[in-house]
Structure 1
Amino acid sequence: MRSIFLLALGLMGFPAMALTNVDLYQSQIVLDKSLEKPDAQARVKGMEEVIVRASGTSDAVQNPVIQKALKSNAQYIAQLSYGQQGEQQTLKMRFNGPQIDALLSQAQLPTWPAQRANILVWLVEETQSERAIAWEHSNSTTLGQMKAQANTRGLPLTIPVGDFNDVTGVNISDLWGGFALPVGQASQRYPADAVLVVRASNNNLRWTLYDQQPKTIGVTRQAPLSGSNNGVDAADKMINQISDYYAKQSSVVVASESSEAIQVRFTSLDNAVDFFVLERKLQQLSSVASLDILKIQGKQITFLVHLLATPAEFEQQVLRMREAKAIAVEPVQPVLVPQPQQDVSIVNEQGENEPAVEQALPEVIEQVEPKVVEPQPALMFEWQGGHYVAPAPTEVEEADVNDEMVETDIDA
């Protein structure tokens, strides 16, 4: 069965995913030549940036274990080089990913997986004379601050390019007024997982986050998130709040080694694409160490999942997949095996019954076979991947088809 799935994989493509893979372990810090040891200070700052980005926690650097590790930051650096940012010299650093992950585990800090939601940003800035949308290449101070802070936190942002389709597809009044349906329609051309509408006036920001795919904005009743920030660092505060929101959704505290494994069953897998998308998504979860396929039967598959976190944390991560819906697992009732009844009395010489001192075993005892009950998985989910549809097979000309049947063995 596995071989059939592997063969099918080579004949079809995967659906496009909007999630963005963030480079968690690189950092570039401007060297402060006024300090006594600028390189040493830059290494500490660079490692702090990586810790915050990988954990999704702003105050992770205050952890006592992290504070000790920062003093020996050199052992966590994999590559080191100098760069230039304008007229300023920078120190480029790439940290060892497995070592950083192990450090977070030792510190009992969460890890925010590298695959993160891609957010489309509509920024409308108001001046005394007009309101204008900040496009990708706009010379906007607020947009620059948002990009810089989003890079620090590892929050993927997409800015509209401002071409003809953008200019004609959205009205500034719709963005400023918070009309959801036009925002969703204008955003559908971009591969985004969420849409952020920001209204900026001086140092005041009002924002609305639609944490859903653009095509559902204004169609479903899902309520958006909203907030406001003031001051010269208003953009930083906003990005931090949104980063904290997504990190809280996806982060888990990972144990240092796999200490538990559970059986998990998924139903309603209609085709090979569903299977491989599910398997890939499970392997990408930060709470999963590895997967073993125990059974494939019809449209169901049962995994043995080796965990790096608790089963509850794993279950929460699976439920965050849009395609997974929990199914209640019915408890298995114990099977009682009836025992044969035996006479426990004998007849004495006077013909009266009296209790037997010792009961001999009967010559033949009918054996009752216990009912074999297949163990139930700890968790069950229904896979709702209806939009993962395999493409129709391509027609092959008769001249290219051999009359003889060729049998090929494919190793799983």
Structure 2
Amino acid sequence: MRLCKFFFAGCLSLVSLASHAETLNGLYQVLEPVSSQSPQERDQATQRAVQTLVIRLTGDAKAADGPGLSAIRKDPQQIITQYGYDAGPPESLQVDFDPVSTDRALRQAGLAIWGSNRPSILGWWLNDSTDGSSLVGDGQAVAQALRRAAQHRGLPLRLPLGDLDEQVVATAPNLESADATPLRAASERYGADALLAVHARQDGNQWQAKWRLWLGDNSEQGTVQGSDTGAVADAVMLAISQKLAPRFAVKPGVSTEQLLEVQGMNLQRYAALGHLLEPFGGQPLLVDGSRIVYRVNGSADQLRTQLSLAKLQETPPGEVPAQQPVAAGAQAPVAPEPQAQLRFHW
């Protein structure tokens, strides 16, 4: 087996990722609305922040209340680095958590962790209110409520421009349809991984929303409600987070160690692939021209989902090229080349 060092390792951080997946900044920083800065209010908001963070990292709404995190609930300070207040609106307690101690506590509790590399979501959001019907465009004031909800639930959300052509496409029938074809065509220029369609209606003092999410060949849907746009947006993002997390989160002690081979590599793709494989502890074993072999820890389904973010294609077993025999007189390799269980190509 031939191990190769990347002579360009120092340059990888300067290369833009080939995939659309985004590294979510502020994953371990949580804002929780408060009505005052009293010690009691701060303690209550801190408990809510812990729960928000655990759901954000695991997708499990019940995980924060489990016995494995009882010590964290009693003393959240052991995973907190600092507090602060954000003027908002709304005024919020800002809690910064330590990533290392937080992840360690979650692993010790036996919980799966969803890393910071997450699929980008393009959100088509139509509001029907007493003021009329409107598509939420990137530059509108109401877009801030959607972005705040997405950040709160740990999702990289993009919004369309909302121009006239897009308003013609983003109608209530199209947003509620199981056929995403019209929206997919309008979404191509944004290059997102997932497509979200939301039709929200105001009904008296309440909002109700129907949502659909498409990621690759998979789709999810649901219905939520809230007291205002911000509340219903948070409910939508929470539901989506809980649907997506099981596809990407890696649980300690359950994942299987296996070898992954990827063909068609270049400098830019090395950076993208290494970043995508971080949650699986990816370690390069062999680099041979445009081919690389990684040791990874994760289920085959999780790896397939993660690699689909970079538009990688799985190589069918029948198309795997046979290893070349050693020519007469040539020196045989010191050790046999590692045999990958999963093979993909760009």
TM-score normalized by the length of structure 1: 0.64
- The answer to whether the 8 Å contact 1:174/1:183 transfers is no
1:301 to 279, 288, 292: 292
Between the aligned partners of 1:247 and 1:378, the Cα distance in structure 2 is 26
Instruction: Name the % identity.
Output: 22
Q: Determine the structure 2 residue equivalent to 1:287.
A: 280
Q: Determine the structure 1 residue equivalent to 2:161.
A: 161
Structure showing the higher helix proportion among its residues: 2
Q: 1:62: Cα distance to partner?
A: 1.0
- The answer to whether the 8 Å contact 1:124/1:172 transfers is no
Unaligned runs of 5+ in 2: 321-333
Q: Determine the structure 2 residue equivalent to 1:278.
A: 273
Code of the residue aligned with 2:341 in structure 1: it is L
Please say which structure displays the higher CA radius of gyration: 1
- The answer to whether the 8 Å contact 2:138/2:160 transfers is yes
Q: Determine the structure 2 residue equivalent to 1:349.
A: none
1:191 matched to 2:191? The reply is yes
Code of the residue aligned with 1:94 in structure 2: it is D
- The answer to whether the 8 Å contact 2:59/2:243 transfers is no
Paired residues for 1:169-248 under 5 Å = 169-172=166-169, 174=171, 176-177=173-174, 178=177, 180-202=180-202, 203-212=207-216, 222=217, 224-230=219-225, 232=227, 234-248=232-246
Q: 1:7: Cα distance to partner?
A: 9.2
Q: Determine the structure 2 residue equivalent to 1:325.
A: 314
- The answer to whether the 8 Å contact 2:169/2:186 transfers is no
Code of the residue aligned with 2:48 in structure 1: it is K
- The answer to whether the 8 Å contact 1:170/1:183 transfers is no
Q: 1:98: Cα distance to partner?
A: 0.5
Q: Determine the structure 1 residue equivalent to 2:103.
A: 101
Q: Which range moves more in the overlay, 374-383 or 317-326?
A: 374-383
- 1:49 match: secondary structure: helix
- The answer to whether the 8 Å contact 2:120/2:158 transfers is yes
Paired residues for 1:4-403 under 5 Å = 6=8, 14-22=16-24, 23-33=26-36, 37-86=40-89, 88=91, 90-127=92-129, 130-140=132-142, 146-162=146-162, 166-172=163-169, 174=171, 176-177=173-174, 178=177, 180-202=180-202, 203-212=207-216, 222=217, 224-230=219-225, 232=227, 234-255=232-253, 262=257, 264-269=259-264, 271-282=266-277, 284=278, 286-288=279-281, 291-293=283-285, 295-297=286-288, 299-305=290-296, 307=297, 313-320=298-305, 321-322=307-308, 323-325=312-314, 328=317, 374=336, 377=339, 379-383=341-345, 385=346
Between the aligned partners of 1:41 and 1:376, the Cα distance in structure 2 is 53
- Structure 2 CA distance for partners of 1:156 and 1:376, relative to 1, 3 Å: closer
Q: Once the two structures are superposed, what CA deviation does each residue of 1:106-161 show, in whole Å capped at 9, x if it has no partner? A: 11111111111111111222346743212234454xx6664443222112211223
- Counting matched residue pairs gives 314
Q: Once the two structures are superposed, what CA deviation does each residue of 1:266-303 show, in whole Å capped at 9, x if it has no partner? A: 15335444444333432x2x231x5142x344554333
* CA root-mean-square deviation: 3.7
Q: 1:247: Cα distance to partner?
A: 0.6
Q: 1:35: Cα distance to partner?
A: 6.7
